[in-house]
Every structure is written in structure tokens, then in C-alpha cells.
Structure 1
């Protein structure tokens, strides 16, 4: 490594936080700010009520070129106290855009709001779109995007449908055919305006690029991929490219594949085994990120509410012999736990009367069928979580256990 490379290395998380705190202190000299290193966030104000999450900002800073880093810091400071939205719908209308976002991100924002004021209305509008994606309405200002929520629409005196229709008109006006071939049989949008993934909402684009039977993926905010369902190799290449995007992008959206029916995108389950395997692996990666991002916030909420509950991790294992992947979590005897929804569950029992601890692994579906009365789903949670307070009797479950080598 050269000396120049050494100085170009990205800063640590703490150093990045210090850089941002210095900028915030200059902009808001009377507002104290402290770094929550464990939660990777800044807490602004005397009560720390204003939270600046660094999970996306920090990797974006690290990925930016030298000159862009200073601008990234300025944008992060501006996001700390965003300007107010226009007072009227007429003034806001030319700047409204639809935005497809990962459902896990929506849940993260919901948990943030719970941590501030439990009874406060949501500041964002989240409309169900697909199994792992929501549709939002945003105001695209000169310096930043701001989400628009139900309270703001009520203030403007408009309904959701009217506001979304205006946003879709704006998206169409901002869209011309701008696809490039990135792999044989695979095309990617090249707008570069933070709404590439949102253009999945424009099905006519897909048909013009990929023919009569187009398929699409939106692995990240800046990525829209197209391939023809008639081209199996192209579809496989699209999934492989989506995986590469997921490995580097900091703002994931969807791990699903989409086809178009009656003028709208719907989830597509392909027949090709290699494509299905690739999509399943991508989904595990996205779920891992969503569960991990929410864990610290859930633990903070539990501490605030005086709830003694362990948040179990979503883990992914790959078998050495076959290379097959699966997700799993651990359910420990005697521990009030929030379990993620995984493909397998490890039951960890305490050895009584001096015996040794025991670990048994079960398929989730088989375990849930046998003792689902002990596995309580958490309302609203995404990805799904389940609370377990009592531990099952292992003896009748033993025939369902997977071999120790699995």
C-alpha cells in the first residue's frame, strides 16, 4: 500500500461520526449532539430525541471520492433538520414522486417513531406493494427527498390517490428510454436520479426493452434490471447481477423478481432451478440485513419499556458437502425471546440434574405444526418475528429433528 493509499482509506465509524458532529455543532451551536456507537447513530438535542441514523450515511461516505465526501457531509447535516414541505398541494405537486422502498426500511422507520412518541402519527405513508417492498410518496426538493405522510396530505386537503396520481405523472414526465445492455440479454436503467427502481411502476418501459414477456428486478434504489422470460440465460445473468449489486449497494429495495399482468408488476416465481436458488440466496441476504438493522432498536425499546426479552439473530449457514444454504435461529430454554422467521430452528435445552446442554435442529414448518401454540406472531413486524416464552417438551419432538450433520 502506498502512502497516498493510506491517506485515502475510509475513516472509522467513530471518526466519521466526529466529522459529522463537528459540522452539526457549527450549524446548530446550541443543540448538543452525542454519538451512540453501539447503535451507529447520532442523538441531537438535550433529550437526544432527534436521531440521525448512520447505517446508510457512513458506507456512502466511505464509497465517495475525495471531493464528494465533503458534499456528503453537508447533505447529511441538511438531512438532520430538513426544511418544511410546501404549504399547499399546488406548490408541492411539481415535486412529488413515487418511491419504491424495502419493507424492512419502512419497519425501521416505524420502530424509530415508536422510540420517540408511541402515540404520534406516522410521518410517512407506506402502501403495500409486494412481499418485501412498499410504495412511498416523497417530495423531491433541490437538496433532499422528504417523505410525505397522511398528516401532510390532510393539511393539503388531498387524498392518497390524487397525490399518487400526480407523482406518477411526474415520474412519467421524467422518464425517457434510457437502458443500457450490461450483460448478454440483461438491460439496466441509466437515469441516475434515485428513481431507477421506481420506474418498475411504468410497465410500458419493460415491454419496449424486453419484448412481450419482460421480467424485472429492483435490488437497490438506483437499479432497475430487465430481461426477457424467453431468455433463460439472460434471466440467470440478471439474478447474478442483482446479487453483485446487493453486495455493494447500501440502499437495498427488493430481492424478488417481477413480471407484468394487467399493466402492473407482480411477483414472479421462476421455474428454472438455478434462478430459484439464486433468488432464495438473495432473499436470505436481504432478510439478514433487515433483522440485524432492527435488533439494536428493538433492544433499546425493550430497555425503555422495561421488557426483559432477548432478540434472537437471523443466521445463514452453508453446508460444506452440498453447498446448500439455509437460515436458522436459536430458541433457548428459559429465555423470553423474539425469534426471526427462519427455515430451521435450533432448540437449546439446559441439561438438568447435572446433564449437558442439548442442541436439536428442526425445520420451522414441522416445529410450528407441533408446538405453534408456543410461538406467538408479533403484530405488524416485518420481517416476521415471533415471541416465545415457554419451552417445548423435547421428547415428542425428537422424531422431527434433523440429522446432526445437517
Structure 2
């Protein structure tokens, strides 16, 4: 792009996302899959395990599957005993898929727990339905939205594993989803407050029982953490709940760095900060400009990883269904001088049916154009989405994508401010 000499391309599209840069000389995904299956068999898993290399997942039979992406990241970003614990943790998660579900409400009620998961966890299941059944008409998850990027699901607490109930409570329990969720959240109170200060101004949940971030569903517990100001929390992974105070810039900055480190371990959930207002979790943006910039960069890093995985799945679906749709990359750029000065960009080319990720900037491409607008005009997403709204149709799924409905006229492009 012209005028972009101070900007370098940080991360190319690829199915493993931004975490690729964290590993050196690691075995291939296929080699890891063999290792994982061997560990599962050694631990006594006797069910079907069919490896699908193009999806990097294991098919378990009866339409269920187990993604290997997070296990791969976690295993090869740790060493020694931590590496083995990471592997065994994911093998245990696999084993939970075969745990029996009690049919008596009296048995199920004390086992119920609420779990917070990224919206991408549900999207993986939805896209699996699309790929195996042709559409997602049979996909009816039961969940409660949590903030912008997470959901709350029901789960059963087994002695050695957590079994997520994506479809909600069993009909035999005669409980609505809301009733079961109230029980599940109340059961989290069985463990007392347990936060430890791990950096200046930052407290981490120390339960280590698989439900650490679930305690974010208990506003009164969050309010009791002894931070400076009102509590602000992050749930970067399923096992890491961090809390700092909104009157403590050092604590908030430390929390962002710790969240970044946690995300490198896999099982990612969210890169956002949240706080409670009227007992509702709301997105929190730091008032300190430098800190807000660092947080935004972390959010883009996770967005990049999620969009890469989504693109890979959609490309497979379109190929199998004979659809000629270009799934645009979520490209991430950063400044040579200041890495957190990042922005995301996607390309929209005239004459190409495109699925666009939501990005900071759009490159509008008119092949062979020779007028004063130029062949490529880079514009802000915010302005383009407003002026070109009829040409962008929101698609189903998460993270957000928009299907192009044609291409803007030259006069419309001329109205858009060019971003340097």
C-alpha cells in the first residue's frame, strides 16, 4: 500500500492464527494428533477417535467432535511438568464427552455448574452442523449472552471432568434453562472467595477447579476483591480470572500483560475488560489512552486468531457446497516503532463475491482503474459501513462477517475519506 513504509505486515492468514509466532521447531499438527490420541488411549478412552486433518479435530461418533487447536497451542507453549498437565487436562476434557448424563433432577441439581465460554465455542459447533448436515437447522444451543464475546452455558461437574450441556437441561429434569442456570450459578458459591494478588494491583482467582472464570457470574464476589476503585475483570482463558481496580492504572496495565500471557497458553475466552453496572457485565475501556491502545491491540490479536479459524472452516464449507465466495482475510498490521500501534484491514474487490470480517480499515480494490481515485483506496470501516450499508449484509455466525452485495459506485468511493 502506498504511504505505508512505516508499517509492516505482522501476521499473515493461516489456520493456526497469531499463536504460530510463539512456537519454534514444533512438531506438525498431524504429529500432535497422534500424540494426543495415544495419550487418550493410555488414559482409558475407548470411544471412536477419527482424525480429520483438514479440520484438525477428532470425530467421536454420533456427530460429535473434539477440536485440537487449543490443545496444540497449550502443549507446545509450555515445558516439562506443565506440558504434561496441559495434555492431560485436554484429554480429561475429551473424556467428559462420554460422561453419562443423569436423568433424575435430584441427582443433576448438585452437579450443575455455569461455565463461561467464548462465542467461538458455539460457532465451532454450528459450523460443524453446516458442514456435516448441509445447514444449521438442527443447532439450537441454550445459552445466556455474557458481554459482547462470551456466553454462559450449563455444565455438569463430574469427579474428573466437566461436561458442557450445549443444548440445555435434560427434558426429564423438568427445569427451564433459566431455572437450571440459577441453580448452577448458586452452586458456584459452595467454594468461598479465593483471590490471590499475583502482581501489583492484580488479583487472580485461585480455586483451580475448572470454574475460575465462572465466578465472574457472582458480582458480589467480584466486588469483595480488595482493589483500588471499582473492580474491573478479565477472563482471558477458561482457567484465569483477573481482577484490578478502575482507579489503579498500574494494576490495569499489569492485568493486560497477564491476560496476554494467559492467552498464549490456549483455551482462549476473551481479551476484553469488563465491569458490572446494575449487576450486568459491560465492556470497560480504560481512560488512560496508552493502556486503552495496548488493550485494543490484545483484542485484535485474539480477533485475528478467531477470524483465521473461521475462514478455514468457511473455505472448506464453500468448497464442499460448490459456492464461489471469497472469505476475506483479517490482516493485522503494526508499526515498526510501536508494536501496539496496530490496525486490522480486509480487501473488498470489485466483481468478487466477498465475505468481509469487521476490521478497522477496508481496502476497496478496482482492478485496472486509472482515474484519480486510484486502483486501491483504503478507508475506515466505520465510515464505509455507514455510507455503504445497503451493500453489506450481516452474515450468521461469530465473529461478525458481512456479505457484499455488489460493489460501491465510483461516486460513492469518492465520498469516502482515504486513510493514510
Please tell me the TM-score bracket, short chain as reference: 0.7 to 0.9
Instruction: State the SS of the aligned residue for 1:219.
Output: strand
3-state SS in 2 of match to 1:122: coil
Counterparts of 1:271 and 1:31, CA distance in 2: 51
Equivalents in 1 of 2:162, 2:247: separation in Å?
A: 38
The CA deviation at 1:68 is 4.1
Match of residue 285 from structure 2: 269
Secondary structure class of the residue paired with 1:209:
coil
Q: Residue in 2 aligned with 1:60?
A: 74
State the distance in 2 between where 1:157 and 1:76 align.
27
Give a deviation string over 1:352-386, Cα, whole Å, max 9, x none.
69xxx92221111222233222111113x222110
| 2:242 counterpart (225, 228, 233) | 225
1:261 is displaced (CA, Å) by 2.6
Q: How many angstroms apart in 1 are the aligned matches of 2:47 and 2:107?
A: 32
Aligned residue in 2 for 1:206: 222
State which drifts further: 16-25 or 250-259. Answer: 16-25
Shift of 1:28: 8.4
Q: Matched residues in 2 for 1:70 and 1:34: separation? A: 17
Q: What is the TM-score of this pair, normalised by structure 2?
A: 0.82
* Among 309, 312, 319, the residue aligned to 1:303: 319
Task: Tell me whether 1:99 sits opposite 2:139 in the alignment.
Answer: no
**1:130 matches 2:147:** yes
- Once residues 65 and 343 of structure 2 are traced to their aligned partners in structure 1, the CA distance between those partners, rounded to angstroms, is 35
Structure with higher RCO (Cα < 8 A, 6+ apart): 2
Q: 1-side partners of 2:94 and 2:197: how far apart?
A: 37
How many Å separate the matches in 1 of 2:346 and 2:390? 18
Question: Is 1:326–2:343 an aligned residue pair?
Answer: yes
Deviation at 1:21, TM superposition (A): 4.4
Q: For 1:117-158, what per-residue CA distance to the aligned partner results, in whole angstroms no more than 9, with x for missing partners?
A: 335643742211101111111112123222224464333211
How far is the alpha carbon of 1:314 from its aligned partner? 0.9
Q: Match of 2:355?
A: 338
Structure 1's 333 and 90: CA in aligned 2 closer, same or farther, altered over 3 A? same
Q: Distance in 2 between matches of 1:391 and 1:151?
A: 42
- Whole-Å separation in 2 of the counterparts to 1:150 and 1:76: 18
**Preserved contact between residue 169 and residue 175 of structure 2 (Cα < 8 Å):** no
Residue 88 (structure 1) shift: 1.6
Counterparts of 1:318-397 in structure 2, within 5 Å, are: 318-320=334-336, 324-351=341-368, 358-379=375-396, 381-397=397-413
CA deviation after TM superposition for structure 1 residue 273, in Å? 1.3
SS at match of 2:127: helix
State the distance in 1 between where 2:285 and 2:48 align.
Answer: 51
TM-score of the superposed pair, with normalisation by structure 1 = 0.85
Checking the alignment, whether the CA contact within 8 Å between 2:143 and 2:168 is kept in structure 1 is: no
Distance 1:84 1:53 in 2: 21
Task: Provide closer, same or farther for how the CA distance between residues 25 and 307 of structure 1 changes in structure 2, counting only shifts above 3 A.
Answer: farther
Report the counterpart of residue 206 of structure 2 in structure 1.
Answer: 190
CA separation of 1:29 and 1:180: change in aligned 2, threshold 3 A: closer
**What do you get for the CA RMSD once the two structures are aligned?**
2.9
Following superposition, the deviation at residue 328 of structure 1 comes to: 0.9
Report the Cα offset of residue 101 of structure 1.
1.2
Q: CA deviation at 1:64?
A: 6.2
**Contact preservation (8 Å) 2:327, 2:355:** yes
- Pick the aligned partner of 1:165 from 171, 178, 182: 182
CA shift at 1:72, angstroms? Answer: 5.2
Q: 1:134 to 1:397 in 2, by over 3 A?
A: same
Secondary structure, aligned partner of 1:334: coil
Q: Which residue of 2 aligns with 1:251?
A: 267
Residue segments in structure 1 that go unaligned for 5+ positions in a row: 1-8
Distance 1:87 1:30 in 2: 22
